[in-house]
Amino acid sequence: MAGEAPVRVLGIETTCDETAAAVVERAADGSGRILANVVRSQIAEHVPYGGVVPEIAARAHVELLDGIIAQAMTEAGIGFAELSAVAAAAGPGLIGGVIVGLTTAKAIALVADRPLIAVNHLEAHALTPRLTDRLAFPYCLFLASGGHTQIVAVRGVGDNVRLGTTVDDALGEAFDKVAKMLGLPYPGGPEVERAAARGDAARFAFPRPMLGRDDANFSLSGLKTAVRNEAAKLGEPTPQDIDDLCAGFQAAALESVADRLKVGLRLFRDEFGDPRALVAAGGVAANAALRAVLERVAEEAGTPLVVPPPKLCTDNGAMIAWAGAERLAAGLVDSLNVAPRARWPLDGNVSVPAKFAHTRAAF
């Protein structure tokens, strides 16, 4: 309604190894702007272990979150009494971290007497292009991160249908595991991308998992094993061997992604009509080679490609705050009894076509 005051939502993100808080404003016409977005990465804490250690991550969230929230509120220039709601990622994710963020949000909501909104971390990724590009529903989301690889039909707030998912490793997880087995530093995904740029992708004949299947699911464990087997044959791989292994792995993974996305877009059109766009989100969306694949698939499908800025593709508080603002506008709020969830299917509360029911197995 014209003249209606905008809503301002504090968002808290603690599902993995980023401690983040943000304040986002949503106008009555659906447009949004970020008033503050503070993210503290924990990469340095986890480097010695070659991956995220849940207990260390949760402890860091406890130590950092209050200060990060205070910084976000200061940068936004408002007090808690000026918030319309408090939102937190309530899952899916590492349960210790989820508990820290959700409990903190509950305390703020209780003291400030503001509504609490429990946000599905995956839906926050799914709704981000509505903040950055004012994208209308419905659209097709490709979510690729260390923990998730999914193709989702985003039809509305709280209305998502998962068209495809990974049956084993997530795309980012596969990149990280290949990096670790080849002795590359953590975080491994960017290291594999850099090595691949120097390598010969044709040297090794790696499989293209799931190529040509009628469903839109992914599988990457077999490809990862193929890389391990080829590396073992080499004994002590030279730097060039490692570059070539990375190049071959990345080429095979992205060819599989392209095929799976084409199927996903076809399934979307068959069931829901033309998508407004193909959207990419998640940390792996920062991979330049993947971006080229996405551009090609979108162009061939005659569909616009929307990729939010890298800082909004990876985990952040602004996406949680925006999802909270969208849910608040739809009249969706939660009680203080809402529970944290390690697993939370994005389409868990929506009736989906029977042909997609099997994709609910993960997350």
8 contacts 84 by C-beta, under 8 angstroms = yes
Residue 170 exposed, middle or buried by CB count within 10 Å (0-12, 13-18, 19+): buried
**Predicted pLDDT of residue 283:** 84
Longest CA pairwise span in the chain (Å) = 70
Q: Taking the CA atoms of the chain, what radius of gyration do you get in angstroms?
A: 20
First to last CA, the chain: 37
**Predicted pLDDT of residue 346:** 84
Q: Rounded to whole angstroms, how far apart are CA atoms 249 and 91?
A: 31
CATH number, domain 139-307: 3.30.420.40
Matching CATH number, 7-133+311-361, of 3.30.420.40, 3.40.50.2300, 3.40.50.10420, 2.40.50.140: 3.30.420.40
Q: Rounded to whole angstroms, how far apart are CA atoms 70 and 237?
A: 49
Domain boundaries defined on the chain: 7-133+311-361, 139-307
Can 7-133+311-361 and 139-307 be said to share one CATH topology? Answer: yes
Could you tell me the mean pLDDT of each successive run of 10 residues in the chain, 363 residues long? 79 96 96 97 88 93 98 98 98 97 98 98 95 97 91 96 95 94 93 97 96 95 96 96 98 97 97 97 88 96 95 95 97 96 76 43 40
83 contacts 333 by C-beta, under 8 angstroms = no
- Cis bond before residue 138 (omega within 30° of 0): yes
Q: Rounded to whole angstroms, how far apart are CA atoms 242 and 188?
A: 13
Q: Rounded to whole angstroms, how far apart are CA atoms 177 and 189?
A: 9
250 contacts 201 by C-beta, under 8 angstroms = yes
| Amino acid found at 56 | I
**Predicted pLDDT of residue 127:** 96
**Predicted pLDDT of residue 348:** 57
CA of residue 194 relative to chain centroid, distance:
22
Structure tokens at 298: 């979108």
Residue 81 exposed, middle or buried by CB count within 10 Å (0-12, 13-18, 19+): exposed
276 contacts 135 by C-beta, under 8 angstroms = yes
**Predicted pLDDT of residue 355:** 52
Q: Residue 260: left if φ>0, alpha if ψ -120 to 50, beta else—which one?
A: alpha
Structure tokens at 236: 């002590």
353 contacts 161 by C-beta, under 8 angstroms = yes
The alpha-helical segments, DSSP class H, found in the chain are 43-46, 54-76, 95-112, 121-132, 171-181, 188-198, 221-233, 239-272, 288-301, 310-313, 317-329
**Predicted pLDDT of residue 356:** 43
| Amino acid found at 190 | P
241 contacts 188 by C-beta, under 8 angstroms = no
Q: Rounded to whole angstroms, how far apart are CA atoms 107 and 288?
A: 41
- Cis bond before residue 92 (omega within 30° of 0): yes
